[in-house]
Structure 1
Amino acid sequence: MNFEDLVRLRHSAVNFIEDEQMTEDDFKNIFELTKLAPSAYNLQFTNYLVITDKEKKERVFELSYRQYKIHTASAVVIVMGNKNSLEVSEAERIYNPMKMLKMMDEVEFNMTMDMIKKYSDGLKKDPHEVDLELYRNAGLHAMLFMLSAKHFGFDTCPMHVHNIEELRKEFNIPNHLQPIMMITIGKSVDKERPRGYRKPVGEFVSFNGY
């Protein structure tokens, strides 16, 4: 499937084939592509909680106002922003292998760490800015997850995440992980569902100013 077909065939699924099983290998294949998503300073802010257990998925169903697509989906994926990604120690963990492999020298490594520290310290002055950065980066990651899923034959639907504190307690989600959205995944019942209206390009794109 070429990229144009992939994008055109990806729809938000409203109902899934119930009891369709997905394996850990299915998810590993999807995430091997998803991990190539861009992120600020390559800090890779996005974590995922994949819920395939039927009873646990039903708990998410109850916490999400009983939306039927959660009940029928093969899994529910919680997309989370990782606040610890802003720590310099995390940046060092990501960049140290590049230094060891001579992809960057000591001077470049130190300059990069200094830039990341300034960037991180600037964000931390305002918690709202931290949240915005998590949402920006997780949004990019989540979109690639949905395209990757479609590439491997699975359908998805992005969803609002509800009752976050109850969700934290239910699944022991630590405080440094911020749930941002949910994605239901499986095999859609409606393979030929028409796509909703899309605005013409000229209605939402301008060049060189307004």
Structure 2
Amino acid sequence: MNFEDLVKSRHSAMNFIETEQMTEEDFKNIFELTKMAPSAYNLQFTNYLVITDQEKKERVKELSYNQYKIHTASGVVIIMGNKNSIEMPEVERIYSPLKMLKMMDEVEYDMTMELIKGYSDGLKNNPHELNLELVRNAGIHAMLFMLSAKHYGFDTCPMHVHNVDELRKEFNIPDHLEPIMMITIGKSVDKVRARGYRKPVGEFVNFNGY
């Protein structure tokens, strides 16, 4: 399937084949593509919690106003922004192999570390901007996850994440991970429906100013 067909074939699934099971290998294949998503300074802000256990899915369903698609989905994926991604030990873990492999020289490495430290300090001093950065990066990641899932024959539906405090307790989600959204995944039981109305490009795109 070429990219145009892939994008056009991805619909938000309203219900799933309840007996369809996904393996860890299925998810790993999807995430091998998803990890190619861009992120600010390549800091890779996005973490995932994949829930396939039926009882645990039912608990997510309860915390999500009993939306039935969670019950029938093969899995529920919680997308989270990782606040620790801007901590310098994490930054160095990503960049030091580039210096070791001589893909960056010492001067470039030091300049990059100084630049990222300034960026990191700015976000730490502005929680609102940090939250926006987490949402921006997680959103890019989540879209690529859904396209990658479709590439492997799985359907998805992006959803709000509700009752975050209770979700944290239920799944022992640490404080540095911020749930942003969730995605149900499986094989859609619905026939492909006509896509909902999309505005013409001219209604939402301007060039060179308004």
TM-score, length basis structure 1: 0.99
Query: 2:100, 2:125 → 1: CA distance?
Result: 33
Matched, 1:163 2:137: no
Structure 2 partner of 1:44: 44
Structure 2 partner of 1:137: 137
Structure 1 partner of 2:87: 87
Query: 1:125, 1:192 → 2: CA distance?
Result: 47
Query: 2:126, 2:203 → 1: CA distance?
Result: 34
Deviation at 1:19, TM superposition (A): 2.0
Deviation at 1:123, TM superposition (A): 1.2
Distance verdict in 2 for CA 1:110–1:61, change over 3 Å: same
Distance verdict in 2 for CA 1:100–1:191, change over 3 Å: farther
Deviation at 1:90, TM superposition (A): 0.6
Deviation at 1:126, TM superposition (A): 1.1
Structure 2 partner of 1:20: 20
The one-letter code sitting in structure 1 at the alignment partner of 2:34 is: T
Q: What stretches of structure 1 of length at least 5 have no aligned partner?
A: none
5 Å matches for 1:1-210? 1-210=1-210
Query: 1:195, 1:78 → 2: CA distance?
Result: 25
Superposed CA offset, 1:151-173 (max 9, x none)? 00000000000000000000000
Deviation at 1:124, TM superposition (A): 1.3
Deviation at 1:191, TM superposition (A): 3.3
Query: 1:164, 1:121 → 2: CA distance?
Result: 26
Superposed CA offset, 1:26-67 (max 9, x none)? 000000000000000000000000000000000000000000
Query: 1:191, 1:117 → 2: CA distance?
Result: 50
* Runs of 4+ residues over 2 Å off in structure 1: none
Secondary structure of the structure 2 residue equivalent to 1:169: helix
Q: What stretches of structure 2 of length at least 5 have no aligned partner?
A: none
Deviation at 1:194, TM superposition (A): 1.4
Percent identical pairs in the alignment equals: 83
Secondary structure of the structure 2 residue equivalent to 1:192: coil
Bigger CA drift: 184-193 or 53-62? 184-193
